[in-house]
């Protein structure tokens, strides 16, 4: 059983527009609402593929009620910690060329009692867990070290922990030695205070994250695929797609694919790439069951000078 924790979940509203004009009335063609938040997305992707998973999350207010109903409808096993504040309702404005404009609310302000009860709820699910996934931002009121304390708990209980967050919550979790850190390129750059523009620079930054405590680092690179850096070296892989419908949720799908694999590191990276490629080719946040697999290439002969297409200029 994989256990995910989402301290700052949301209901994501995806609005489909022919074009977006700022400062004007824009009329949508259609819209959809989905349960979301990084840990929720990972859990739903795993659940869709028959991988045993349980999502631990907070919920409060009318949006929290809607989130609970959506998760019940999906048949996902959940442990919900009630909070007083209203959880987030995020908006993604999606255009036909794949351009997505996201508007994310900050989320509620949690009390010490609330984040303490969420921590205890996660602790109660660790017996027999194959992975603990700490995912997403922390709401106001959570200490930055909250994920770090949870990673330390998982390590003490013999449960490998994957961390997919950003900023201080990610940085402060590393000294607790998570089994896997899964930043995207921007999160890696912010974490290491670098600006990688080549695969070699990504690898150097990933090794820095390993020196800080992470056992393995999986970096999602958008159109440039993904890099896995661990004690056995570096692997780079790609799974090109002909058309990107929406990149939202692709990183969560990639992490889910990696965790779903019981094979070796190359097979795990290949699964991550396949799930990520599938995610960008469909609408909305959530990854449905994959019916066709992208062609994946994996190599340990990484060209360090290769330029990244998605790097900041």
pLDDT in tens, 176-210: 999 999 999 999 999 999 999 999 999 999 999 99
Segments in the chain below pLDDT 50: 313
With respect to residue 313, please indicate whether it lies within any of the assigned structural domains.
no
With respect to residue 306, please indicate whether it lies within any of the assigned structural domains.
no
Q: Average pLDDT, whole number, for the chain?
A: 93
Q: Are 254 and 272 in contact (CB under 8 A)?
A: yes
With respect to residue 108, please indicate whether it lies within any of the assigned structural domains.
yes
What's the whole-model pTM score? Answer: 0.92
Q: Provide the domain limits for residue 187.
A: 2-299
CATH number assigned to the domain comprising residue 252: 3.40.1190.20
pLDDT of residue 293: 74
With respect to residue 140, please indicate whether it lies within any of the assigned structural domains.
yes
Q: Are 53 and 46 in contact (CB under 8 A)?
A: yes
pLDDT of residue 312: 56
pLDDT of residue 280: 82
User: Contacts for 95-99 with beta carbons within 8 Å, 24 or more apart?
Assistant: 95/17, 95/18, 95/19, 95/20, 96/18, 98/243, 98/244, 98/245, 98/246, 98/247, 99/20
pLDDT of residue 309: 85
pLDDT of residue 284: 62
With respect to residue 98, please indicate whether it lies within any of the assigned structural domains.
yes
Give me 41's structure tokens: 């997305």
With respect to residue 165, please indicate whether it lies within any of the assigned structural domains.
yes
With respect to residue 208, please indicate whether it lies within any of the assigned structural domains.
yes
pLDDT of residue 313: 44
With respect to residue 229, please indicate whether it lies within any of the assigned structural domains.
yes
Residues catalogued as catalytic: 252
Q: How many domains does the chain have?
A: 1
Pure H helices in 181-221:
185-192, 199-211
């Amino acid at each position: 059983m994989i256990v995910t924790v989402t301290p700052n979940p949301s209901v994501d509203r995806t609005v489909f527009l022919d074009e977006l004009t700022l400062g004007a009335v824009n009329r949508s063609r259609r819209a959809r609402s989905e349960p979301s938040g990084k840990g929720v997305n990972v859990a739903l992707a795993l659940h869709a593929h028959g991988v045993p998973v349980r999502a631990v999350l907070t919920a409060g207010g009318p949006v929290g009620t809607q989130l609970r109903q959506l998760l019940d409808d999906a048949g996902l096993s959940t442990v919900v910690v009630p909070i007083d504040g209203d959880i987030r309702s995020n908006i993604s404005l999606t255009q036909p060329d794949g351009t997505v404009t996201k508007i994310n609310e900050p989320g509620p302000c949690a009390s010490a009692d609330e984040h303490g009860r969420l921590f205890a709820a996660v602790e109660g699910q660790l017996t027999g867990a194959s992975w603990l996934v700490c995912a997403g931002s922390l709401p106001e009121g959570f200490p930055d070290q909250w994920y770090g304390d949870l990673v330390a708990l998982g390590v003490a209980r013999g449960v490998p922990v994957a961390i997919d967050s950003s900023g201080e919550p990610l940085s402060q979790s590393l000294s607790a030695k998570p089994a896997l850190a899964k930043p995207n390129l921007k999160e890696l750059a912010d974490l290491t205070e670098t600006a990688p523009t080549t695969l070699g620079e990504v690898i150097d930054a990933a090794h820095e994250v390993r020196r800080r405590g992470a056992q393995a680092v999986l970096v999602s690179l958008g159109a440039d695929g993904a890099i896995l850096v661990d004690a056995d070296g570096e692997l780079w892989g790609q799974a090109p797609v002909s058309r990107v419908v929406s990149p939202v949720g692709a990183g969560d799908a990639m992490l889910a694919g990696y965790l779903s694999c019981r094979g070796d590191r190359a097979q795990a990276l290949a699964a991550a790439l396949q799930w990520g490629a599938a995610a960008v080719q469909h609408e909305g946040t959530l990854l449905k069951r994959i019916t066709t697999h992208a062609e994946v290439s994996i190599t340990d002969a990484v060209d360090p000078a290769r330029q990244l297409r998605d790097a900041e200029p």
